[in-house]
Amino acid sequence: MGRLEILKNLYRLITTGFLKKLMPRTLFARSILIVVLPILFLQILVTYIFYERHWDDVARRLAQGVAGDVATVISMIDRFPGNSAHAYILSAARGQMRLAISIDEGGKLPAGADEPKEYGFLESHLARALQESLPARPFVISTNKKLESVIILVQLPDALLQVIVHDKRLFSTTTYIFVMWMVAISLALLSIALLFLRNQMRPIRQLAAAAEQFGKGQFVDDFKSSGAQEIRQASRAFHVMKHRILRQITQRTEMLAGVSHDLRTPLTRMKLQLAMMPDDGDKSSLEGDVADMEQMVEGYLAFARGQEAEAVETADLSELFHEIINNARRQGTAISLKTPRELSVSIRPNSFKRCITNLINNGARHATEIWVEVGSDDADVIITIDDDGPGIPKENRDDVFRPFYRLDPSRNTETGGSGLGMTIARDVIHGHGGQIALGTSPVGGLRIEIRLPK
């Protein structure tokens, strides 16, 4: 398989999403991975080069030095026979060559010494060096249990030479020093990088928390921009956006206060004039029109006023639903409730109560019985409202959330209201950071599912 084919397979592996599943999800973990992987690859590369080149060369040269000293001692023993000469040679080897040498007169190598053996890293270098220095001498290499020394047995014509080489002559201490320094420096650099990344992640988390809080309609204090330049820019843009939205909400509220006064004043005058008119058919018709106009004005104002004036507080959702259901039952609605004993959540109680009341009233207008269930999972509070009415066709379920949209084409408020109930309910749910969806109920009518974050 060529390099081009390997690159193609690697590209397919990345694009299939296999590596994406192995990647951590948080930015902090991915940043750590970006920092750790180069350091890890660098250490592996440096260690490979060091062990493959430097340590191999050092070990070979040390082995050659030991093999040369052993060959020198054997040459001197052969050149100068006699016990006194041998004693002098062995004493000089111990003092000057740091070799513990002894001669066993008449000794023989163990059986099977001539057979090839598998040596370790240092033993293999030493064996090759001895073969070069002592081509005609059989020998055996072994190590003690604590790996503090290497024992070399060399067969002489009429004796067995034993050489004990201490680890200082075969091992380079710079190897361990290099590895320890490399690991220590890498850990220090990694700690500094982690501290720096953690400080960079803090303003991102702060911005994300503020955006989520503001998205739920909660009040968010201005915070000081910190971190990298891009993060500071995003924080400043968030503050500008927040103040622009709040200013728009304030202007809308002030405008609606004036609209409310201007619309209610002529309606009040019309109601007063109708009260002074004689009772006849025209008066009843006009009173009905004025009542419808007043109801529509209140609906429009409720839609436009929104929920910005109410503060968020922790409320018991079970208690709130019991209150809503009891009010609905007093109005003659056949409704049942299934809810846990206690379920605390951060909401705007009045706005949320108005939202659920609108949904129940809509269901009561078209159905004979309503079922409400409140539950929760690990992340959300789940509210389902089922009824046995005609339901809403699938193609119209998105349209009912549009302002002033009514399934009934007539504008009769007795059959369809003002067309703002579902719109207000959706705005309230979205203002709490939740979602609302319509579906088909198991009993054949409409199912409304609401999800609120805990």
Report residue 439 CA to chain centroid gap: 33
The burial class, CB within 10 Å (0-12 / 13-18 / 19+), for 170 is: buried
Return the pLDDT at 410: 47
Residue 284 pLDDT: 73
Q: Which residues neighbour 421 within 8 Å (Cβ) at sequence distance 6 or greater?
A: 358, 359, 361, 362
What pLDDT sits at residue 217? Answer: 67
Does the pTM surpass 0.75? The reply is no
Task: Report domain extents, the chain.
Answer: 29-171, 208-305, 311-453
Report domain 311-453's class.
alpha beta
| Burial (0-12, 13-18, 19+ Cβ within 10 Å), 194 | middle
- Counting every residue, how long is the chain? 454
Pairing of strands 380-387, 313-316: unpaired
Q: CB–CB of 150/123 below 8 Å?
A: yes
Per residue in 260-278, pLDDT (tens digit) is 667 777 878 887 777 777 7
pLDDT of residue 411: 43
Give the pLDDT confidence score for residue 323 in this predicted structure: 92
At residue 3, the pLDDT reads 59
Class at the top of the CATH hierarchy for domain 29-171: alpha beta
Per-residue confidence of the chain (454 residues) as pLDDT tens digits?
Answer: 455 676 666 666 555 555 566 666 777 777 777 777 787 888 778 777 776 666 677 777 888 888 888 888 888 888 888 888 888 888 888 888 888 888 888 888 877 666 666 766 677 778 888 888 888 788 888 876 555 678 888 888 888 888 888 767 776 666 667 778 878 888 888 888 888 888 888 888 888 888 877 876 677 888 888 877 888 888 889 888 988 888 877 777 677 667 766 777 787 888 777 777 777 767 777 777 777 777 767 766 665 555 455 677 888 999 999 999 999 999 889 999 999 988 888 888 888 888 898 899 888 888 999 999 999 888 889 999 999 988 888 888 888 888 767 766 544 445 455 667 788 888 888 888 889 999 999 988 999 999 988 7
Q: What is the CATH number of domain 208-305?
A: 1.10.287.130
Model pLDDT for residues 374-383, shown as the tens digit of each residue: 998 888 899 9
